[in-house]
Chain A
Amino acid sequence: MTATVLWVTVLLASLASFGLKLAGHLIPEHWLATERVQRTSTLVTVALLVSLVVVQAFADGQAIVVDARVPALGVAAVALALRAPFVVVVVLAAAAAAALRALGWG
């Protein structure tokens, strides 16, 4: 993306984000308080985040590859299971990948 396209992307996404937040404050609560709406919202959030995990860890352009990112993701999962804070999880994963690459793999 060019700088201009990136700016448009940033501003449009920001506008959409604020629009959704404001809409939530303006519409009657019971419109959104149905079990189906809440359930769908929760599941969409899960699906998007999991899909992004997969893309970030396995995709290289359109290829599926296994490199240093995959064991790093494993390190992150272990850290999360041990209830490590967000920053620690991210730093440990980066350190794992960096260490593997320094050793000449991935």
Chain B
Amino acid sequence: MSREPPHGFLGHVKRPSSPGVTAAARQGMSVAVATGLYGISFGALAVVAGLSVAQTAALSLLLFSGGSQFALIGVVAAGGSPVAAVATSTLLGARNMLYGAVVAPLLSVQGWRRAAAAQLTIDESTAVAVGQRTPEAVRAGFWTAGIGVFVLWNVFTLVGALAGDALGDPRAWGLDAAAGAAFLALVWPRLAARRAQAVAGLAVVVTLALVPVTPAGIPVLAAAAVAIVVGLVAPSAAATGKVGR
């Protein structure tokens, strides 16, 4: 669920030409349809990875973060441990915490609405929300995208899971290749900055080096560890010119 992540979400997002509530809601709905549709691929791949239809549906209902869901089933499919699966999924979900900190003051909700807003805080709802100009439009965009993606993502996850269940040999359908393509599509819009490209290269090297010598799931976590080190020690973009974020 992350074709258009709100990179550097404090003001770097393109502003839409129409600032109104209707425009925000329309934008939210179109994002919801586009995102919801690929719940089909998640549902099918999750079943192929070895999850039951119920477990697949539970992930979309409860975890509700596309990248994390794909990551969890990816580690499971590769034969990784439960700890590696949860750790990978959770690390990928860490960015939702940053999104929450950005949208919370814009939404200013309390009680159960705050819990609902938290569950709906993902790439798409945040991107639509921060792209609006008025507080009313921000709220309309967030809730329309959030609820829209949630409903459609869950419906299409179920469709995909039932279809995947009926498919038979996943290799004959190329579904094992579809998983790699899904991750590539998720990372593609995040590779614009040069520093991101450098970290991507490091991740490739680390993963290829560790796959033959470590249990499944570990190479992915090692790549994340390298990124944490780079993120913490690298000089700031402001100090070195435009090397990315």
Interface residues of A (CB under 8 A from B): 1, 3, 5-14, 16-18, 20-29, 31-33, 35-59, 61-64, 68-69, 72-73, 75-77, 80, 85-87, 89-99, 101-102
Contacts and interface: CB of A to CB of B under 8 A. Distances in A.
A98 B91 CA distance: 32
Contact of A10 (B51, B79, B195, B202): B51
A86 B38 contact: yes
Contacts of A8: 82
28 contacts: A1-B76, A6-B52, A6-B76, A14-B62, A20-B94, A20-B100, A24-B98, A24-B100, A25-B104, A25-B118, A29-B105, A35-B236, A39-B245, A43-B227, A43-B230, A44-B231, A45-B190, A46-B196, A47-B226, A48-B88, A51-B220, A52-B180, A54-B219, A56-B78, A63-B212, A68-B174, A92-B181, A93-B177
Interface in B24-75: 34, 37-38, 40-41, 50-52, 55, 58-59, 62-65, 67-68, 70-72, 74
Contact of A51 (B62, B96, B98, B223): B223
Nearest to B196: A46
Nearest to B204: A54
Interface in B74-108: 74, 76-79, 82, 85-86, 88-105
